[in-house]
Amino acid sequence: MKKVILIISILFTNLTMSQVKFEANVSKETLGINENLRVDFKMNKDGDNFTPPDFSGFEVVGGPNQSVSNSWINGVRSFSKTYTYFLTPIKRGRFTIGQASIEIEGDIYKTSTVDILVTEAVSSSLSPNNPDTIVSDDLELIAEVSKRSPYLNEPISVVYKLLFSPKINVTNLSEVDAPDFKNFWSQNIKIPRLEINRTSHNGKSYNYVTWKKMLLYPQKAGDIDIDPMTLDVTIDVPTNRRDFFGNVIYSQTSNKVSSEKVKIITKPFPEENKPDEFNGAVGDFKIFAESNKSELSSNESFQVELKITGSGNLKLFSIPDLVVPSSLEKYDPEFNENVKVGLSGMNGSISNTYTIVPQFQGKYPIPSTEFVYFNPLEKKYIKILSEELVVNIIDGPTSSITANTNDLSSSTKNILNSKGQFNFIELETNLFEITKKQSVIDQYFKYIIILIFLFLLFSVLSIKFILFKKSKSIDNNKIANRMAVKSLENAKKYLSEKELFYETLEKCITGFLVTKFDFKNTDLVSESINKKLSKIGVDKNTTDDLINILNTCQYFKFTPNSEFDTTNDYNKSVEIIMNLQNFKL
């Protein structure tokens, strides 16, 4: 029985020893973007044709290092061979270390895949005597924040500076991971070139370069975190060796350095005395209204510019609408922006320019426009008003409403005041019938006169209406053509700024269609445009090009990162509008 057990044990041991093991081991499955990862591919039998995975999402900073272990314990041979790689992550995310393969005794063996999670930068856990730690002590990435407790839509700046010891040289910088500035409106402030300056930090002297400047406007009240930024820095580090001439020999290494996480505590707008008209404007502003004409005829047009100037979140709120009397026909405004963005915030002006066409003669007041903003320095809401404008229309048709209003005072003059008006009326009379022979013409003469008068009156009114409609159509054509040319010139300014270009181009084309061809806003769809333009003789190619341009403007709103050729779209729009100027209703 003992011999049987011994034989079984020997067979089991030989079977176990004959099994091939080939596996992948990692130093950690979750690491920060500023940490390195060690991957060991280990086998218990020697093999050939080792093929590593492609390490997608990582950069190989060391390896492959090969180590072999061969020992005998109690007469049993133990063999181990390992290929070691050192990796550094390129970006945050979840990645997979693929399968490595090797040929052992004519068979191909593969390792299992390993999932790795790369998170934001973490605090270093290296020992103080580690060479990487010594380099890290000479490097620091700091985030300087101008204000940590702003109001909503109040600007704050973040400046990232790389500090390094004067004894080392920085030869290359690259951004590995950057915050996404979630819950902020953000604007990158361009840095012309990297310059080395001197500063003092925590009692030590450093050289530094300013890597990035950001302007932020918080869009959410409460706590908002700004994640760390991570840079990959290539450094020349001095060694203890010297060359033949006594100069210090440097060795090149690379290291990742990260800033600290920054917490911003955003204060909400005060609810006390908060006006209903407040639309989120924060800063210090002034409002102006200016007309290019104060006196004109009813067949002319004039323009009113409503402008807001100052410093604050100029790109993040809308201008109040201009209110005009009902006798003035107001068209959609043309938006203009002249805003400079710096570390201190936005300053400049935004404006809406309205084209207005009067209908009747008279003096018309354009009332003041109210604008409400919040001043974070004074911590209160401020209401300001634009100037009131008066426009004098010197000729043209008179409004019937005005005429009736002027006659109201005379409507009470025709009142009877007879002393005997309520005397008894006699019921019996001494009247007798007078008979006289009349011709047919005499009998119906008054009716014929009335019919002739009504016919003449209708004819005069019809001719006057036709002439007025023709005159108005000519005026509308002139206004539409003039507005289209001006809007196209304005769109041309934004060829390099796609968002503003397509917004301005869409307003130009729709305004031209509304003014020249009497479209309504609800009719600006492909079917209605096709039907109306084909009715007045516009060829199908021009109509299709027009609809394609409008679709492009709409498509860009939902896919702003798509590739569009603004120059080609601008030239095509000019060609379309020039063709349409020859047509009229």
Angstrom distance (rounded) from CA 257 to CA 244:
34
- Give yes or no: residues 140 and 260 share one domain: yes
Here the CATH number for the domain that contains residue 385 is 2.60.40.740
pLDDT band at 427 (very low <50, low <70, confident <90, very high): low
User: Does residue 147 share a domain with residue 203?
Assistant: yes
For 271-286, write each residue's pLDDT tens digit. 999 999 999 999 999 9
pLDDT digits (tens, 9 = 90+) for 3-25: 555 555 544 444 444 588 899 99
**Range in 34-48, 121-135, 286-300, 516-530 the model is least confident about:** 121-135
DSSP type of residue 166? T
Q: Is the pLDDT of residue 488 over 70?
A: yes
**Does 445 map to a domain?**
no
Q: Is 485 within the bounds of a domain?
A: yes
| Region for 264 from its dihedrals, namely left if φ exceeds 0, alpha if ψ lies in -120 to 50, beta otherwise | beta
Q: Which amino acid is at 361?
A: Q
pLDDT of residue 146: 94
Q: Residue 206 CB: number of other CB atoms within 10 A?
A: 20
Q: Are 52 and 100 in contact (CB under 8 A)?
A: yes
> What phi and psi values does residue 215 have, to the nearest 5 degrees?
-105, 125
Q: 68 in a domain, yes or no?
A: yes
Residue 135 sits in the same domain as residue 113: no
Each residue of 336-390: pLDDT tens digit? 999 999 999 999 999 999 999 998 888 999 999 999 999 999 999 999 999 999 9
Q: Do 353 and 301 share a domain, yes or no?
A: yes
Q: What is the mean pLDDT of residues 541-567?
A: 79
* One domain for residues 502 and 541: yes
CATH number, domain at 77?
2.60.40.10
Give the pLDDT mean for 472-501: 73
pTM (predicted TM-score):
0.51
Q: State which of 393, 425, 455 marks the end of a domain.
A: 393
Which stretches does DSSP call E strand in 259-388? Answer: 262-266, 283-291, 295-296, 302-312, 328-330, 334-342, 345-358, 362-366, 370-375, 380-385
Same domain? 178 vs 89? no
**257/287 same-domain check:** no
Closest CA to 574 of 494, 476, 484, 504: 484
3-state secondary structure of 157: strand
Confidence of residue 398 (pLDDT cuts 50, 70, 90): confident
- 8 A C-beta contact, residue 136 and residue 75: no
pLDDT tens string 58-107: 988 777 888 777 766 666 777 888 888 888 898 889 999 999 999 988 88
| CB-based contact 81:46 (threshold 8 Å) | yes
Within-domain flag for 145: yes
pLDDT at 73: 66
Residue 327 lies in a domain: yes
Task: Tell me the two tokens of residue 412.
Answer: 């009470």
Query: Same structural domain for residues 363 and 383?
Result: yes
Average pLDDT, the chain: 81
Three-point CA angle 269, 318, 568, nearest 5°: 140
Q: Total structural domains in the chain?
A: 4
Instruction: Tell whether 196 and 96 lie within a shared domain.
Output: no
Provide the pLDDT for residue 420.
Answer: 45
Q: Which of 363, 393, 423 is the last residue of a domain?
A: 393
- Residue 412: inside a domain, yes or no? no
Closest of 185, 207, 213 to residue 195, by C-alpha: 207
Q: Does residue 288 contact residue 320 with C-beta atoms inside 8 Å?
A: no
The pLDDT value recorded for residue 98 is 92
Q: Is position 78 within any domain?
A: yes
User: What domain range is 303 assigned to?
Assistant: 283-393
Q: Could you tell me if 302 and 296 are in contact, meaning their C-beta atoms sit under 8 angstroms apart?
A: yes
Per-residue pLDDT for 437 more than 80? no
Residue 554 in this model has a pLDDT that exceeds 50: yes
Cis, peptide link before residue 358, omega less than 30° from 0:
no
Among 90, 119, 148, the domain boundary falls at 119
What gap in Å lies between CA 358 and CA 525, rounded to an integer?
29
Do 255 and 288 have their domain in common? no
Alpha-carbon span 36 to 90, nearest angstrom:
11
Verify that 233 and 198 share a domain, yes or no: yes
What pLDDT was estimated at residue 389? Answer: 95
Query: Is residue 261 within 8 Å of 360, Cβ to Cβ?
Result: no
175 within domain boundaries: yes
> Looking at the structure, do residues 172 and 238 belong to the same domain, yes or no?
yes
